[in-house]
């Protein structure tokens, strides 16, 4: 029988030490190993929870390890991490069971180190209520410990959004996300899908921002459901859904999606256009375009044309042909930490600065493909204003033939509208953080 905690340790090693994507490696292990539903849920909870609270967990461990976490064996460290997560953040697992399982698991690596594991965990249990973890730092340090974020990221959110909004971003980025699906208007209507899901035992509710959004509050894997397999629904966050809605697409338009994979927005655009016109879905990697084709086929979409191109490089055939050009550019992903908590530990300031150059190259290149009176839509899943607001101001300054067109999706507590017209969506219980700007080409 597969040991759930051992599987979690293996997954964490790949994510934290081999830079693997949590969702991909988790899916690989869950599909490969003989696990029942409860084990799958437990592993998922431990992996994402440990990634989410790694800063806080490591700070605690540093209090009990003479040489700190940096010199500890990777497997032993991850055994300790998942154990502190369970002891601090879960109340459904008995404390003695957490400690015993950790010790037995560490014995496979080293009997000597198993004694260390036992000592650290029991020491934590004795002192957790009398040691003021994280209470002695400055204001930023306390926020780092409370919400488990690296210092540079806390400083970025506080400096760009102020203390109140900045702390809300930190807090909401730790919310465990629900699954949101988009109803495919080419195949089904909203009520039909709602009823079918309820009949299948799902607890559902209406989306917050988009009329075609439906939130899965409780239920089995949605991608195993026949409605998903038959293309009636597709998994997509509501913030991402808003992009296609904001583009104002109409039947028989020509639309270019320069950074398309895995195709969620391209397919949504096609649905809104009634599968008419042309949607050019482009990506740098052929294997990612295969995902676009797979999604389009499942959803019954025929008007998507896939193209393997580099969004930074000019392609003459696209010069001035598009009614709408979407650039959902590569970004730091600071708005989707709810779903990919390892972003806290895999991003840094230098990597963001490198991204800004790429984003601006894509913007300039994409602008050449927009026809007169056409629109250029810029979106990211980050909350970093250097990649969002500052990029838009830079682009408009360099390209006076484009002007911002105001976006208004209604009054929501988590949406910030800039006077210039673009919008920032803050992470909340049901949506990821996102940024969208729409620019019209006047000449």
What is the rounded CA–CA span in Å between residue 222 and residue 262?
18
The residue from 144, 282, 306, 381 that is catalytic is 381
**300 annotated as ligand-binding:** no
Write out the H or E segment, with its range, that includes residue 196.
Answer: helix 190-199
Asked if 383 and 424 touch (Cβ cutoff 8 Å), the reply is yes
**262 annotated as ligand-binding:** yes
**264 annotated as ligand-binding:** yes
Segments of 156-220 assigned E as strands? 179-183, 203-206, 213-218
**283 annotated as ligand-binding:** yes
> 33-45: string of b/e by CB count within 10 Å (b at 16+)?
bebeeebbebbbb
**73 annotated as ligand-binding:** no
Q: How far is CA 114 from the centre of its chain?
A: 36
What is the rounded CA–CA span in Å between residue 401 and residue 289?
32
Q: Which of 407, 406, 373 is nearest to 245 (CA)?
A: 407
Q: Which of 206, 205, 217, 211 is nearest to 178 (CA)?
A: 217
DSSP state of 177: P
Asked if 363 and 294 touch (Cβ cutoff 8 Å), the reply is no
What is the rounded CA–CA span in Å between residue 115 and residue 92?
25
> 193-224: string of b/e by CB count within 10 Å (b at 16+)?
bbebbeeeebebeebbbbebbbbbeeeeebee
**217 annotated as ligand-binding:** no
Phi, psi torsion values for 300, nearest 5 degrees: 75, 30
Asked if 382 and 335 touch (Cβ cutoff 8 Å), the reply is yes
361 burial via Cβ count (<10 Å: 0-12, 13-18, 19+): middle
**310 annotated as ligand-binding:** yes
Give yes or no: 306 in active site: no
DSSP state of 123: H
What is the rounded CA–CA span in Å between residue 90 and residue 76?
20
**259 annotated as ligand-binding:** yes
- Please give the structure tokens belonging to residue 195: 């009823």
What is the rounded CA–CA span in Å between residue 392 and residue 422?
9
Sequence ranges of the binding site for S-adenosyl-L-methionine: 259-265, 283, 310, 328
Residues taking part in catalysis? 381
Sequence ranges of the binding site: 259-265, 283, 310, 328
């Amino acid at each position: 029988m597969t040991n759930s905690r051992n599987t979690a340790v293996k997954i964490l090693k790949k994510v934290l030490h081999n830079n693997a994507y949590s969702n991909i490696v988790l899916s690989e292990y869950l599909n490969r190993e003989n696990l029942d539903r409860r084990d799958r849920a437990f592993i998922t909870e431990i992996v994402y929870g440990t990634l989410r609270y790694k800063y806080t967990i490591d700070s605690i461990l540093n209090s009990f390890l003479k040489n700190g976490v940096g010199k500890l064996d990777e497997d032993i460290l991850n055994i300790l991490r998942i154990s502190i997560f369970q002891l601090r953040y879960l109340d459904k697992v008995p404390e003695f069971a957490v400690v015993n399982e950790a010790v037995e698991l560490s014995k496979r690596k080293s009997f000597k180190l198993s004694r260390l594991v036992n000592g650290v965990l029991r020491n934590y249990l004795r002192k957790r209520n009398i040691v003021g973890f994280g209470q002695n730092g400055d204001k930023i340090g306390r926020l780092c410990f409370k919400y488990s974020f690296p210092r540079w990221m806390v400083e970025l959110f506080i400096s760009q959004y102020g203390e109140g909004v900045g702390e809300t971003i930190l807090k909401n980025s730790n919310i465990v996300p629900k699954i949101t699906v988009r109803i495919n208007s080419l195949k089904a209507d909203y009520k039909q899908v709602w009823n079918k899901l309820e009949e299948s035992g799902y607890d559902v509710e209406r989306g917050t921002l988009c009329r075609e959004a439906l939130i899965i509050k409780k239920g089995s894997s949605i991608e195993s459901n026949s409605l998903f397999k038959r293309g009636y629904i597709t998994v997509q966050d509501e913030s991402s859904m808003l992009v296609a809605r904001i583009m104002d697409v109409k039947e028989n338009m020509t639309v270019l999606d320069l950074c398309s994979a895995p195709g969620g927005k391209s397919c949504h655009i096609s649905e809104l256009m009634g599968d008419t016109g042309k949607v050019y879905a482009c990506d740098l990697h052929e294997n990612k375009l295969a995902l676009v084709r797979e999604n389009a086929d499942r959803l019954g979409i025929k008007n998507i044309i896939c193209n393997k191109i580099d969004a930074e490089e000019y392609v003459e055939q696209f010069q001035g042909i598009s009614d709408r050009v979407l650039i959902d550019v590569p970004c730091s992903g600071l708005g989707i930490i709810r779903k990919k908590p390892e972003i806290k530990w895999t991003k840094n300031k230098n990597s963001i600065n490198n991204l800004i150059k790429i984003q601006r190259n894509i913007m300039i290149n994409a602008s050449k493909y927009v026809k007169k009176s056409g629109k250029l839509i810029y979106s990211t899943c980050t909350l970093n204003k250097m990649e969002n607001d500052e990029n838009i101001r830079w682009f408009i300054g360099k390209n006076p033939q484009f002007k911002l067109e105001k976006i208004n999706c209604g009054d929501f507590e988590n949406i910030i509208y800039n006077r210039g017209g673009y919008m920032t969506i803050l992470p909340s219980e049901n949506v990821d953080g996102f940024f969208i700007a729409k620019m019209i080409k006047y000449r």
